[in-house]
Structure 1
Amino acid sequence: MEFLANYGLFFAKAVTVVIAFGAIVIMIVSASGRGRKADKGHIEVNHLNEKFEEMRDSLQAALLDPEALKLHDKAEKKRLKAERAEQKKKAKQNQEQVAASTDADKAEDIAGAAQKKRVFVLDFVGDIKASECDNLREEINAVLTLATPADEVVVKVESGGGMVHSYGLASSQLARFTDRKIPLTVCVDKVAASGGYMMACVADKILAAPFAVLGSIGVVAQLPNFHKLLKKNDIDYEMFTAGEYKRTVTMLGENTPKAKEKFKEDIEDTHELFKEFVSSHRPAVDIEKVATGEVWFGKRALEVALVDEIKTSDEYLLTLSETANIYEVEFTVKKSIQEKFGLAAQSAADRLLMTWWERLNLQRWF
């Protein structure tokens, strides 16, 4: 017993020292972070063609015997040498044509036509607040410094929707590509519903996996009301406003029929704006048929013109890699320890909320 008591005391002291040391480290890091200029983030670019080639080479190395692999490598080197020579020849001819042209616009078109098509790939995984919109903005800013109508932008969207104003802004960011006549393709592998579909419909082309979820063109707002509970316990709730409709329904006050009616009008107006937005970008859609708040799986979404083709993003990009250079663009920000802990907690809360939201709304499961 004396041994256990001594061991317990030693263990408690050790834990105290570790906690104290950790607290000191966090305070030092925090203090140094305050004195440093915040990291604004940076753009990272990955050449996906190289990734695909590395995967192919690894598989071939495992499947071919040494002699066959040697012959394959020899033939591949010969092919690459011929390809580089052809590119060099085309580049020289292009330079001569540009130099001979007296029209600046025509010279620019010649230079763009001779260049191999470039495809810029962006990822958007949305939460209720469309928090990734800040990173998306920076990625779009970077791509627009180089992209031309001869290129293409592919955005992989995954979102079940969220706040109207947040997803409205995210949609407007994507519209910057189409405004500049740069082809925009949105790929939906899992879900692009409600605000997610608001983003997707901006594209020139929407591709969806066979069982991706799309649609949910509707608006929902709900909140608990504790007025009866407060009244039962003789608790008064006072609210003062200037403006007849500054506040309509509340969680704590009594919601009058007039307030409820006004709130319903606001929701209906938002729904009308949503319908108009979808119709303006996808005129082939029978908006009255699809704007019921329902969702469709990929193949069914194709039947009602919510998407243009059934295809996964992987299949699409792999096919493009045969004729184009594909670049994955990502904006990353170095976060402090406090931010990492805070974002982890926020992300966990968002996931929990979305999980229960999906369960309450009777999602279909296999």
Structure 2
Amino acid sequence: MGLHPGPLVTAVETRVAPFSSPAWLDRQRISTPLGWFPEHAEQRSTWRGPGADLVWVLIRTDDPALYGIGQTRGGMVAEALIARHLAGLLVGTPALEPSRTVAILRRAAAPYAAGGTTEMAVGACELALWDLAARAAGLPLFRLLGGRDGPLPYYVTCADPAAAAGLEPELLDGAHTVKVPMAYGPADGAAGFGRNVERVAEVRSALPAGVGVSVDCFMSWDVPYATRFAAAAAPHGLDWIEEPLAPDDVAGHAELRARCGPVRIAGGEHTFGLRAGAALITARAVDVLQCDVTWCGGLTVARTLAELAAEHGVVFAPHASGTQPWALHLLAAAPPGALAEVMAGVARQPTVPRPSSDPGVGVDPAAIGFAMGTS
């Protein structure tokens, strides 16, 4: 008789939670790639669709007390890949061998082509397996990763200048930079350009001298526009320009970074997989890497990118990490200099980020609609 491999996966369950409708970024004008089309320029809720919805993944084992939970986006599209394909590969596998299991999932998903949906689906399963492994060890995930307890360095994202002016002093004092979305892009001409610069000046007036101002462009600008903006906004303490270009335009990012110093270039939120994230780093195309831990392909992809970023002097600042327990645990184990993103404008007052000290990542599956019991 062979040795028992430990707990086995017995079931994979999914839940989709609408994300778009309550998000403040969907209720105001921000510059997006669809800014050239008037019917979609005012609100991105007109075009984003179900792909913005959250997908929760619960992996159960033959030990009723042992389970793991993961998360991604991609809505019903990503959920279909998990529930109708990957779940069948997970059931019956050793629950405490995440690296081997994820290798199987990624290779099995290869026919769908590399990119967002594939990496989202595989990554969500991997996050659940890491949560499960930490629960099995009785440790918070950051301890399993060799990390440290305590508050994390961070920056703050705000809906608009008014939100920036309303930040609690304790939160503002520790922020490395405060970021706001830009409302306009190249399609909006000189008037829109001027309003963008005015927004930076307004935020600057609300912040202490030591806190920078950064802007988010949501993949909607081009190299000439961003270059002109960097020059115009630099006197107002512009720190970084985030996602000015399409995520696969590595050469464009590198050109922009060369043109815009000392203003920094941030990006990577919409890159998927290790190769795409690494390309931005090794081409010296970004100063700040912002891959999303729940989208980019999983914890191992994000952890590898964090280490590569540190080797190249790039700040690792994963997207929306303040709202993602897996990302906070990873940041607690990341090389020095990494930043969490704190979202101001969500339902509760933002606080200084730190990972949970509970076993796993600290998410209660019952709180998000999974039926939990002892049998």
TM-score by length of structure 2 reads 0.33
Q: Which structure: larger Rg?
A: 1
Larger relative contact order (CA 8 Å, sep ≥ 6): 1
TM-score by length of structure 1 reads 0.34
Higher helix content, 1 or 2: 1
